[in-house]
């Protein structure tokens, strides 16, 4: 494929017509753990699936193209991708991570730090003075999520890249929330992009997977090497399913966003709601920045209910079209209570520092009919006791 085609075309056409034997239009699935050698001392292109598999490589090529990277390493989960990135940090070296990062990432970095395998500082990456102070400590790696989870703060990637270059740190962006359909961090100078492909990239909630896309061949080689050493590689079946998912990525995201905008509008007008976090709202502090660096605002919304934990419980119980579940980015709408679910792995002080209160609700807005979702939200808000 050429570099020039639109990402929407690349996502649909990735890996097509690659089957020389039968001319299958879709890339075949190779469910095998090993590959026969041609003869003594003559391996073929692949020998063992932990090290390499054609189905997984087809997905890797597609993601590298969509993100504009030199190569992608496909892992068994988003957390495996995060653990893989951590292999680039040595004991004594510092990771700067967002104070409101994904709970699993918070747990991974905290636990590795507790064992002395790296140092970590969780900071508010929207605060210029905090950032400058942290940069002075010469971090090895700056970990960015944009928008952050669950408060959807938009991080300025140009600024983060300048800071990373200033102190010689690697810039890593977790692009799970937006996907390459809406943001391509490597264009802003990121060295590595990581994903939980479990979410938007796959689409239907039937796969667990992850990926690390490297900007340079050298970093890609290191990621491939560590993935093989640690056995983090994703399965062929999950790679095949994710490949199916990315073909509809762009059209799904259009509907996610249309629904999210309609819901955010209802939320911000309702008296039971104290605050709405959605960069698609013109009133959101991240709106202008999101317009500049993203191709859309995505389908994640968070909001604070004035009635705290009681209101959160009532609201969740009243919903009919939002399933109470962790995870995000599926075609189906989900509701999550971060304090007791996605961010339960954070301790109380971590949650407090991150601004995750008992009344905070996070919605992963699906691709159902807009009017149905809006009506469900409206009715559930109206049902809250005074
Ligand atoms: N990063 C982000 C932003 C996530 O939301 C998630 C999971 O939802 C992960 C990483 C971890 O991914 P996984 O659950 O596939 O291990």
Last residue of a domain, one of 194, 211, 246: 246
CA of residue 317 to ligand 1 center, whole Å = 25
| Contact (Cβ atoms closer than 8 angstroms) between residue 305 and residue 361 | yes
Question: What is the residue range of 171's domain?
Answer: 7-246
Ligand 1 atom having least distance to the Cα of 326: 8
Are residues 222 and 338 both part of a single domain?
A: no
Determine, yes or no, domain membership for 2: no
- Ligand 1: residues within 6 Å at CB? 77-79, 102, 104-105, 145, 149, 174, 176-177, 196, 198-199, 208, 210, 327-328
Beta pairing, strands 94-98 & 141-145: parallel
Last residue of a domain, one of 226, 246, 266: 246
Last residue of a domain, one of 209, 225, 246: 246
* Res 308 pLDDT > 50: yes
Are residues 353 and 274 both part of a single domain?
A: yes
Ligand 1 atom having least distance to the Cα of 82: 10
Could you read off the pLDDT of 127-173 as tens digits, one per residue? 999 999 999 999 999 999 999 988 999 999 999 999 999 999 999 99
Task: Report the CATH number that the domain containing residue 333 is assigned in CATH.
Answer: 3.90.1150.10
pLDDT of residue 292: 97
CA of residue 18 to ligand 1 center, whole Å = 31
- Nearest by Cα to 173 from 247, 244, 96, 253: 96
Q: What is the average pLDDT across 280-308?
A: 97
- The rounded distance, in Å, linking the Cα atoms of 107 and 78 is 13
- The rounded distance, in Å, linking the Cα atoms of 117 and 85 is 13
369 sits in the region (left: phi over 0; alpha: psi -120 to 50; else beta) called beta
pLDDT of residue 1: 45
Could you read off the pLDDT of 243-253 as tens digits, one per residue? 999 999 999 99
pLDDT of residue 348: 79
Q: Count up the domains in the chain and report the number.
A: 2
Ligand 1 atom having least distance to the Cα of 149: 3
pLDDT of residue 3: 58
The answer to whether the Cα torsion of 342, 343, 344, 346 is positive or negative is: positive
CA of residue 354 to ligand 1 center, whole Å = 18
> Of 219-223, 257-261, 262-266, 352-356, where does mean pLDDT reach its minimum?
352-356
Residue 101 — pLDDT band, cuts 50, 70, 90?
Answer: confident
* Res 345 pLDDT > 80: no
Write out the two tokens for 171.
Answer: 């810039």
Determine, yes or no, domain membership for 168: yes
CA of residue 286 to ligand 1 center, whole Å = 22
CA of residue 102 to ligand 1 center, whole Å = 7
Are residues 237 and 343 both part of a single domain?
A: no
Atom 6 (ligand 1) nearest CA: 196
Atom 8 (ligand 1) nearest CA: 327
Q: What is the mean pLDDT of the chain?
A: 95
pLDDT of residue 30: 97
> Of 101-110, 183-192, 259-268, where does mean pLDDT reach its minimum?
101-110
**More confident site: 176 or 17:** 176
- The rounded distance, in Å, linking the Cα atoms of 210 and 238 is 10
Per DSSP, 32 falls in state -
CA of residue 78 to ligand 1 center, whole Å = 5
Are residues 148 and 258 both part of a single domain?
A: no
Task: Count other C-beta atoms under 10 Å from residue 344's C-beta.
Answer: 14
pLDDT of residue 103: 85
CA contacts within 13 A on the Cβ side of 45: 4
Q: What does pTM read for this prediction?
A: 0.95
Could you read off the pLDDT of 116-133 as tens digits, one per residue? 999 999 999 999 999 999
Burial of 177 (0-12, 13-18, 19+ CB in 10 A): buried
Percent of the chain with pLDDT over 90: 90
Are residues 176 and 79 both part of a single domain?
A: yes
Q: What is the average pLDDT across 8-32?
A: 93
Atom 5 (ligand 1) nearest CA: 102
Atom 12 (ligand 1) nearest CA: 78
Task: Count other C-beta atoms under 10 Å from residue 9's C-beta.
Answer: 12
- E strands, 166-284, in order: 170-174, 192-196, 210-214, 273-277
Are residues 299 and 234 both part of a single domain?
A: no
pLDDT of residue 232: 98
Are residues 82 and 202 both part of a single domain?
A: yes
CA of residue 228 to ligand 1 center, whole Å = 21
Q: What angle do CA 139, 144, 146 make, to 5 degrees?
A: 160
Could you read off the pLDDT of 318-336 as tens digits, one per residue? 999 999 999 999 999 999 9
Are residues 197 and 109 both part of a single domain?
A: yes
Task: Report the CATH number that the domain containing residue 176 is assigned in CATH.
Answer: 3.40.640.10
| Contact (Cβ atoms closer than 8 angstroms) between residue 146 and residue 155 | yes
- Nearest by Cα to 102 from 144, 141, 143, 149: 149
Determine, yes or no, domain membership for 51: yes
């Amino acid at each position: 494929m050429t570099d020039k085609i639109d990402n929407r075309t690349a996502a649909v056409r990735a890996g097509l017509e690659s089957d020389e034997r039968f001319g299958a239009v879709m890339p075949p699935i190779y469910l095998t753990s090993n590959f026969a050698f041609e003869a003594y001392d003559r391996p073929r292109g692949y020998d063992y699936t932990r090290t390499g598999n054609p189905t997984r490589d087809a997905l890797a090529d597609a993601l590298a193209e969509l993100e504009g990277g030199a190569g992608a390493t496909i892992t068994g989960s988003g957390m495996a991708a995060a653990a893989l990135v951590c292999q680039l940090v040595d004991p004594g070296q510092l990771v700067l991570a967002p104070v409101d990062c994904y709970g699993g990432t918070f747990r991974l970095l905290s636990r590795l730090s507790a064992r002395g395998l790296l140092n970590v500082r969780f900071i508010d990456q929207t605060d210029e003075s905090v950032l400058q102070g942290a940069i002075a400590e010469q971090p090895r790696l700056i970990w960015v999520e944009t928008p952050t989870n669950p408060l959807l703060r938009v991080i300025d990637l140009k600024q983060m890249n300048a800071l990373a270059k200033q102190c010689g740190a690697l810039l890593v962006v977790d692009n799970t929330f937006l996907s390459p359909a809406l943001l391509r961090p490597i264009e802003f100078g990121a060295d590595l992009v990581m994903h939980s492909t479990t979410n938007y990239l796959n689409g239907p909630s039937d796969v667990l997977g992850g990926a690390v896309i490297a900007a340079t061949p050298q970093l890609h080689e290191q990621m491939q090497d560590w993935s093989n050493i640690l056995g983090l590689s994703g399965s062929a079946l999950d790679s095949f399913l994710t490949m199916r998912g990315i073909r509809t990525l762009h059209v799904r995201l259009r509907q996610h966003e249309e629904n999210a905008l309609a819901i955010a509008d209802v939320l911000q007008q309702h008296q039971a709601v104290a605050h709405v976090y959605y960069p698609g709202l013109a009133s959101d502090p991240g709106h202008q920045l999101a317009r500049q660096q993203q191709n859309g605002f995505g389908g994640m919304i968070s909001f604070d209910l004035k009635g705290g934990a009681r209101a959160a419980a009532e609201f969740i119980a009243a919903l009919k079209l939002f399933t109470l579940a962790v995870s995000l980015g599926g075609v189906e709408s989900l509701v999550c209570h971060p304090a007791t679910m996605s961010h339960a792995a954070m301790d109380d002080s971590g949650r407090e520092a991150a601004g995750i209160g008992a009344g905070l609700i996070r919605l992963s807005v699906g691709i159902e009919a807009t009017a149905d979702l809006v009506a469900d939200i409206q009715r559930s808000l109206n049902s809250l006791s005074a």
